[in-house]
Amino acid sequence: MDQTSYLKVINAALITAIFTGLLVIIAVFVYTYEVRQTKEGNRDKMETLTSIKQAELMDWFEDEIRDANLITDDPNFIQLIEGGYEETFAPSILLEKLNQIKLEHFYADLILLDTLGNPTVSTNPALVFNDSIDKAFYEKAKLSDSCLISELFRSSIDDRVYIDIIAAIKSDEGMDLGGMVFKIGLERTLDRLMVDWHHEAIRGKLSFLWERSKGQWLVYRPGYSNPQSTSCWLPLMPEQRAEGLGEQLLQGQRPPKDALYTLNYLPQVPWLLLVELDDKPGRETLKALSNFLIILVVILAMLGFLAVYMLIHYKQGKHINSLINRNTELDAFKRQYQLTLDVLHEAVLVTDSLGRITTHNLMAESLLGLKYDELSGKDVDEVLRLTRPGTGVPLFNVQSWLHGDKAMSSYQDASLHTVMGDVLSVSCTLTYLPSTKPHQDGLVLAIKQETAITDQHRFSH
């Protein structure tokens, strides 16, 4: 690569680097804006869907509690329980009534409790009674006017998850008649409400969080199970801990604004509703956007480099053409100038500031008896010897004259000593050529042979 092409490439690369920097700044701004818009949009949609799911869950819990309250508050049912309590009815009659209620309301199991909270009659003895938990909620239910949702548990028999609703049964006089456990299979309704939901470009997961003991949080998510345990509750997932969910729960703090989850209270149950956002579609969209911006910046940078290089090449070519035209005009002027000098009947010598001959005409070669190469570039004092007539004293020294007091023009008669040994009577005119630039001045020396002057004078008369 020659120097000209190298300079063009360097200049184009520098301009392209600045252009690429501006493109990168614009791309970063666009990407940052899209990230912010995506987060805000996802957050708004997630909050909307969270409120919808929260309302659906609360309605479901309220419906189940209301149904259980209607059953335990039914006078006929209370009369039946009182008969069993007073041993008026056989246990088989109670079991038949419970099976009827179970079939009508699609319960998984119904368990009657005595006043101490111990199970007495069950429609499905295979489902184990949650002794410690349901007993504690039975004691709370006796102090309440409504049923209470007790616990989620996984059956060791069929590996299904059930929810217990505990009700206290009281007579019309307010006497405790025991209690009742309503076991509901979650696949009936609750799991359908909690399965992963999809809405436009938003995906998420619904879970229940339960603080089993101080600072120990467990999570229930439909479809997930722990093969090492029969419990439906699992420790927080590693990805949940990575998002800082565990620390937020331990410190009792609200999730940060840019968190991918929300925590919501459900008044009917002792659990929190955890809504986790699956931002994979958003990440994929942003990744595609970033790849597009990178490719776009690279393509625009390459096109910019080519455009700048071609522009520089065009400008440089135009400048070169202009210089060529100027040089052509200058060469034509030099030829005209040389022809003008050659037709003169005077020997003309032009020197630079150092006294070196830069231009001469044919008459100078003829008068001095020297060829072109013997004159061009030579010191004028070396090839030209002028003396005062009849004395042999040098007329002047050009070098001394150039570095001394320079008159604009000087005319003198002189004797010219040629290389052939001839002495010619001549008249010479020395003219100074000034210049505004240092060391760019010079002089013009015009020499006329006296014989030629006499002949010209005689011809004119």
pLDDT at 455 over 50: no
Q: For 289-323, write each residue's pLDDT tens digit.
A: 788 888 888 888 787 777 777 777 777 767 777 88
> Could you report the per-residue pLDDT of 103-149, keeping only the tens digit for each?
988 888 899 888 888 888 888 877 767 777 788 888 888 888 888 88
- What is the pLDDT confidence band of residue 182, given thresholds at 50, 70 and 90? very high
Q: State the CATH class of domain 38-281.
A: alpha beta
pLDDT score for 307: 77
So what's the pLDDT on residue 348? 92
Give the pLDDT score at 330: 87
pLDDT at 273 over 70: yes
Beta-strand relationship, 347-351 and 409-417: unpaired
Predicted confidence band of residue 100 (pLDDT cuts 50, 70, 90) = very high
Residue spans per domain, the chain:
38-281, 344-460
Residue 412 tokens, joined: 């003198």
Tell me if domain 38-281 and domain 344-460 are identical in fold: yes
Q: Which CATH number fits domain 344-460: 3.40.50.300, 3.30.450.20, 3.40.50.720, 3.40.1360.10?
A: 3.30.450.20
* DSSP calls for 154-186: E-TTT--EEEEEEEEEE-TT--EEEEEEEEEEG
Q: Which of 241, 280, 244, 269 is nearest to 259 (CA)?
A: 244
Q: Which residue would you say has higher pLDDT here, 394 or 223? A: 394
Q: Which two tokens stand for residue 256?
A: 């940060």
Neighbours of 361 (CB within 10 A): 23
- Residue 443 banded pLDDT, cuts 50, 70, 90: confident
Please report, rounded to a whole number, the percentage of residues in the chain having pLDDT higher than 70: 79
Closest by CA position to 429, among listed 443, 439, 442: 443
Distance, in Å, from the CA atom of 207 to the CA atom of 194, rounded to the nearest integer, reads 7
- State the sign of the Cα–Cα–Cα–Cα dihedral 202, 203, 207, 209: negative
Q: pLDDT category, 198, cuts 50, 70, 90?
A: low
What is the pLDDT, as a whole number, of residue 255? 59
Residue 288: predicted pLDDT: 82
Would the pLDDT of 406 be above 70?
no
342-358 confidence digits (pLDDT tens): 888 899 999 888 888 99
CA nearest to 18, candidates 293, 291, 292, 304: 304
Total number of residues shown for the chain: 461
Instruction: Give the least confident one: 139-148, 155-164, 188-197, 272-281.
Output: 188-197
